[in-house]
Structure 1
């Protein structure tokens, strides 16, 4: 209560100073008008501090992991203050790409071959100017996995690279087949259930720097792919730890939520058109396997997956594909430390589908659940251009695992 009162006084003082500078002469410049505005502002501040700003829920399957995070990644136990004028889920989700900056990053491109004759584009940020890790052979490496239609150019990826640069780490971005401008050499794209390409990338990166600490971070669909990989491979992975952000835990629940009228209008239809555009660029590769005209008439992600993704990857039905794609089924089999940040108001990943009970049974898993933040939003501050709560979680967790991860085995 004492902290709440202090926060209230601080926010009220800031609002008062702002109004003194911004309110014009007239009704709103009069004592009555100013009193009304101040009264409303104080009431809103009370509501915000009592109902919106909250500490995240930390769910772990083991006391050791919980203590480790509290000691070395304190952001996961601190109050998250969403942007006061934009805390609602859809607003956070829609505005982040436009509000947050895009730090400049110079990539080194690499095309690697796959066993089926295809190719994958990796974008490297080598960080050769690192003062903390001048030896490239032991410089920590973080593999980044973008979302459904994302690439290395997404703002959230650029922010992760910028933060990694500050820590002295190297980053490599795994662009899904056919998404980043490279040609498709085989009639195959990607799905969050098929982990073969990710296994190829992880093996390749580890073979280049076998002595370097190796972490991975996946966002949205990238996180789903990462968790499905970890659940399948168990302890055999060369990854030391992983983090996921705004994962869709149950694909059926995700689709159902995104098909609600407002969510379909704001998100689903747009993402469907992006998926269609992505595969239509390589239309000639699929015409003998798939009815592309039917694919291009899809009006939702579910319809696209039913007509294209599930067919391409050999599933009998869309239900078979969505069952295999849902990472909640494999969370119990994860055998390295994994931190998963989700907002319970995320319309892409409904709160009722978050596998809280499963997480409680795995000592390697920690769920960090905020009350607000939307999907890959987590905006904070008055004008959240440079950093988000998600960025701070990523930075602290990466640093904690690389510099103090050995402590987990001793707890």
Structure 2
């Protein structure tokens, strides 16, 4: 955003003029303090523009996909200007839920049955007022997958729906079993390695609107689930394209990073308690399968997965589950265009685990890697309430695929 760079330079110039013409007395009766403030401000602006604001790294497995993105999704090649007062990874991650707005969305809920007798809660935003796609049968549909314990109420999901509404699209949010307030009918929850529920949802949505362009976007664990599905099914999917944001590429590396003392304190323990709370609501369903008292004593996501998730889905060990859950191992099998946005400072997904070389082997894959942004952060602007860099990537990519996706075939 060149405008932000110009704003910073203008701010420094205006501050200098203010000090020269308006301020007669500085800190504690002298001009020394204000001179220091001016010097620091100019130095910080120079540091920010030279070291913080950078263009993302675009890694693609094919020249045609790279040209397509540069022509129709230019945001992935433009300089990303993180919020000047909050560009550090943990700060971006922690502040986004509190800073960004939550656009009002009226959902239509649908409960669909699964083969094992369970049910899945879908929240629809039909966008029946769409002026661009008045025919509901051909209105583009975006399937949204929230993160680990997220639902359709998350701010990043609401922003995606708001942007889709502007484009005239319809959205449907896939809430994992047992997290959106619906009853759990069978002793089964969810994990990012098992794609059966996602396959059920995709088949159901496509059967309702077979003539509509169909895309998907997954955030964090939702993105891991989406990539694992695409890696398993290849090109035999009704989805025409997909996007993922802040995906954990290697589950072992994610766990190791989140178990570092500060990261455990800020993120790991809190997420563990959220997982425990979500399964404790349905405690009576699991007592024959797992030791729920032992599960409730877990102090980390890894311990929770070892005591609950891996047992629930029949893995022999936690290592077996984490190996199967890592989407990097299936990336070469993805058969449709996929854009994956990650920040290299994301403590949930450390940079050394991002599969850059693997992505280069698949012409359908594009990685967009920013230097800053944290985990589902990507804050930009002085007060990043209405939009983030992630939002702009989402909007431009889905629009590009709906309107120009035929150019890739």
* Change in 2 beyond 3 A, CA 1:18/1:248: farther
- Indicate conservation of the 8 Å contact 2:146/2:152, yes or no: yes
Q: How far apart are 1:329 and its partner, in Å?
A: 0.3
Q: Distance in 2 between matches of 1:18 and 1:176?
A: 55
Q: Which structure 1 segments of 5+ residues have no match?
A: none
Residue 22 to residue 189, structure 1, CA distance change in 2 (3 Å): farther
CA spacing shift, 1:344–1:5, aligned 2, 3 Å: closer
* Aligned residues of 1:241 and 1:401 also touching (Cα < 8 A): yes
Q: 1:67 to 1:23 in 2, by over 3 A?
A: farther
Query: Quick one: distance in 2 between partners of 1:16 and 1:65?
Result: 46
Residues 146-194 of structure 1: CA deviation (Å, up to 9, x unaligned): 0000000000000000000000000000000000000000000000000
Q: Is the 8 A contact 1:131 1:168 kept in 2?
A: yes
Tell me if structure 1 keeps the 8 A contact 2:26–2:34: no
Structure 1 residue 25 displacement after superposition? 6.9
**Hey, what does 2:23 align to over in structure 1?**
23
Q: 1:356 to 1:393 in 2, by over 3 A?
A: same
Is contact 1:15-1:41 (8 Å) kept? Answer: no
Alignment of 1:27-46 (within 5 A): 27=27, 31-46=31-46
Superposition deviation, residue 28 in structure 1: 7.1
Deviation at 1:34, TM superposition (A): 2.1
> Where does structure 1 differ by over 4 angstroms across 4 or more consecutive aligned residues?
1-8, 14-26
CA shift at 1:347, angstroms? 0.1
The answer to whether the Cα contact below 8 Å between 1:81 and 1:380 also exists between their aligned partners in 2 is yes
Is 2:111–2:121's contact at 8 Å kept on the other side of the alignment?
yes
Separation in structure 2 between the aligned mates of residue 158 and residue 406 of structure 1, nearest angstrom: 28
CA separation of 1:28 and 1:36: change in aligned 2, threshold 3 A:
farther
SS at match of 2:348: coil
Q: Indicate if the aligned counterparts of 2:147 and 2:221 stay in contact, CA closer than 8 A.
A: yes
Alpha-carbon distance between aligned partners in 1 of 2:165 and 2:316, rounded to the nearest angstrom: 45
SS in 1 for 2:29: coil
> In 1, distance between residues paired with 2:42 and 2:317?
54
Give the corresponding residue for 2:200. Answer: 200
The TM-score, its normalising length taken from structure 2, stands at 0.96
Question: Does the 8 Å contact 1:8/1:46 carry over to 2?
Answer: no
CA deviation after TM superposition for structure 1 residue 35, in Å? 1.5
In 1, the alpha carbon distance for the partners of 2:78 and 2:236 equals 34
Q: Contact (CA 8 Å) 2:372, 2:378: kept in 1 or not?
A: yes
Q: Which runs of 5+ in 2 are unaligned?
A: none
Contact in 2 for aligned 1:230/1:335 (Cα 8 Å) = yes
Task: Please provide the CA RMSD for this pair.
Answer: 2.2
What is the CA-CA distance between 1:36 and the residue it aligns to?
1.2
Over residues 87-126 of structure 1, what are the superposed CA-to-partner deviations in whole Å (9 max), with x where a residue is unaligned? 0000000000000000000000000000000000000000
Contact 2:9 2:45 in 1 (8 A): no
Which string of whole-angstrom CA distances, capped at 9 and with x for unpartnered residues, describes residues 109-145 of structure 1? 0000000000000000000000000000000000000
C-alpha deviation, 1:11, in angstroms = 4.8
Aligned partner of 1:372 in structure 2 is 372
Report if the CA contact (8 A) 1:109-1:121 is conserved: yes
User: Contact conserved, 2:26 with 2:32, CA < 8 A, in 1?
Assistant: no
C-alpha distance in 1 between matches for 2:114 and 2:22: 60
State how far apart, in whole Å, the 2-side matches of 1:15 and 1:195 are. Answer: 56
Q: 1:258 to 1:51 in 2, by over 3 A?
A: same
CA contact (8 A) 2:5 2:49 kept: no
Q: Aligned with 1:28: secondary structure?
A: helix
* Count of residue pairs the alignment pairs up: 409
Separation in 2, partners of 1:148, 1:22: 53
Q: Structure 1 residues 15, 327: closer, same or farther in 2, change over 3 A?
A: farther
The more displaced of 27-36 and 315-324 is 27-36
User: What is the CA–CA distance in structure 1 between the aligned matches of 2:23 and 2:311, rounded to whole Å?
Assistant: 60
1:14 is displaced (CA, Å) by: 6.1
Change (3 A) 1:20 1:103: farther
Question: Per-residue deviation at 1:27?
Answer: 1.6
Cα separation, partners in 2 of 1:5 and 1:104, compared to 1, 3 Å: closer
Determine if contact 1:11/1:45 at 8 Å carries over to the other structure: no
Are the structure 2 counterparts of residues 283 and 252 from structure 1 closer, same or farther at C-alpha, using a change threshold of 3 Å? same
In the TM superposition, residue 210 of structure 1 has moved relative to its aligned partner by: 0.2
Q: Aligned partners of 1:2 and 1:110: how far apart in 2?
A: 44
With structure 1 as the length reference, what TM-score do the two structures score? 0.96
Name the structure 2 match of 1:130. Answer: 130
How many Å separate the matches in 1 of 2:20 and 2:339? 44
Which residue is equivalent to 2:352?
352
Change in Cα spacing, 1:286 to 1:162, as seen in structure 2 (3 Å) is same
Measure the CA separation in 2 of the matches of 1:108 and 1:15.
51
Deviation at 1:79, TM superposition (A): 0.2
The 2-side partners of 1:295 and 1:206 are apart by 37
